[in-house]
Amino acid sequence: MSWLSRLPVDRFLLAIISAAVLASIFPATGIGVDVLDVATTIAIGTLFFLYGARLSPSETLAGLRHWRLHVTILSFTYVLFPLLGLAVVAIVGPLVGPGLSAGLLFVTLVPSTVQSSIAFTSIARGNVAGAVVSASASNILGVFLTPALAWLLMSNTGRVAFTTSTIVDIMLQLFLPFVAGQLSRRWTAGFVNAHPRLKLVDRGSIVLVVYAAFSAGMREGMWTQTSWSSLLVVLGVCVVILAIMLGLTWWTARRLGFSRADAIAIQFCGTKKSLASGLPMAGVLFAGQPLGLLILPLVLFHQAQLMACSALAGRYARTMSE
């Protein structure tokens, strides 16, 4: 059983699972709900401020000279992924119910990861500079594109209704903190980047969002609205979506004449979906909706992509060294 110890199950994911289990057993009730709502709002705003302080728009713009690479990656993230999500939901939606099917579609709308996309590209000896620029651009654009795509593609699900209140919440909790972080980089970027322990604030905020989501779900009878068979179907669908995108990104990159290093960056950046950005966005976009089942597919997809990309990166690295 030593292979179990080698599986990339990170502590962050374990913390998220623990928060979901804790909320399922001891959900917030009474005045705790109001306190949790305020704490979650502050945490999300802080999280996106730190995102803005970390991401360098000047470096992203400078790196866009390799525009074919970045357009290809962004097209997978924000065009092909959503189209695949719509197709998948049309097929399996009746099998898994509205909450999980909405969650599957939302998975395909969120930005790419930053840290793991770059790390796997580096391990596989791909174009690391290109991965840095594309992953950063994906997250900068995602602050605006993910809410727009959610409104465009999910309005008919009844999950997203862009009222004046929703738009104000998105501005106050996502856009303004992110823009403030970008504008503050002159004073904050050095401090934020020099203190990696600040990522504990990021992760703590996300764990808090998960606890709040599952607490609300328990108060609304979340687990009575689905079954274990539906959860297994969702897990299988996440694996299928990931496999399709891994194959499609590699095939397309090579057909378009990209080098092996560029193809590796396209594959790892174009197939990843960010748990760190997606969960807080869901908390804002779907405020007032049952979130427990909606965010579950993103958690499952996150672990599947870690395992698959870890295996692929190691394989590419071994191939290069032979």
30 neighbors 191 (Cβ within 8 angstroms): no
Q: Is residue 313 part of a domain?
A: yes
Q: Is residue 1 part of a domain?
A: no
Other Cβ atoms within 10 Å of 29 Cβ, number: 11
The CA distance from 139 to 57, in Å, is 11
Q: Is residue 3 part of a domain?
A: no
pLDDT, tens digit (0-9, with 9 covering 90-100), for 30-79: 888 888 888 888 888 888 888 788 777 766 666 567 788 989 999 999 99
pLDDT band at residue 10 under the 50/70/90 scheme: low
Domain of residue 137 covers: 11-321
Percent of the chain that is helix, strand, coil (3-state, to 5): 85, 0, 15
Residue among 174, 203, 188, 144 nearest 55 (CA): 188
Tokens standing for residue 161: 């209704």
Which of these ranges, 2-16, 38-52, 92-106, has the smallest mean pLDDT? 2-16
- Taking phi first (over 0 means left), then psi (-120 to 50 degrees means alpha), and beta for anything else, what does residue 255 get? alpha
**Domain CATH code at residue 134:** 1.20.1530.20
Residue 82: is its pLDDT beyond 80?
yes
The CA distance from 136 to 51, in Å, is 10
Q: Is residue 59 part of a domain?
A: yes
227 neighbors 96 (Cβ within 8 angstroms): no
pLDDT attached to residue 240: 95
Residues of the chain above pLDDT 70, percent: 87
What is the amino acid identity at position 212? A
Residue 7: is its pLDDT beyond 70?
no
* DSSP conformation class of 271: S
pLDDT band at residue 132 under the 50/70/90 scheme: confident
* Residue 264: its H or E element: helix 260-270
Residue 9: is its pLDDT beyond 70?
no
- Give how many domains the chain has, as a whole number: 1
**How much is the average pLDDT of 151-155?**
84
Q: Is residue 5 part of a domain?
A: no
Q: Is residue 6 part of a domain?
A: no
- Average pLDDT score, the chain: 83
Other Cβ atoms within 10 Å of 246 Cβ, number: 18
Q: Is residue 4 part of a domain?
A: no
pLDDT attached to residue 1: 41
pLDDT band at residue 202 under the 50/70/90 scheme: confident
pLDDT band at residue 160 under the 50/70/90 scheme: low
201 neighbors 47 (Cβ within 8 angstroms): yes
Residue 266: is its pLDDT beyond 80?
yes
C-alpha R_g of the chain: 19
Q: Is residue 2 part of a domain?
A: no
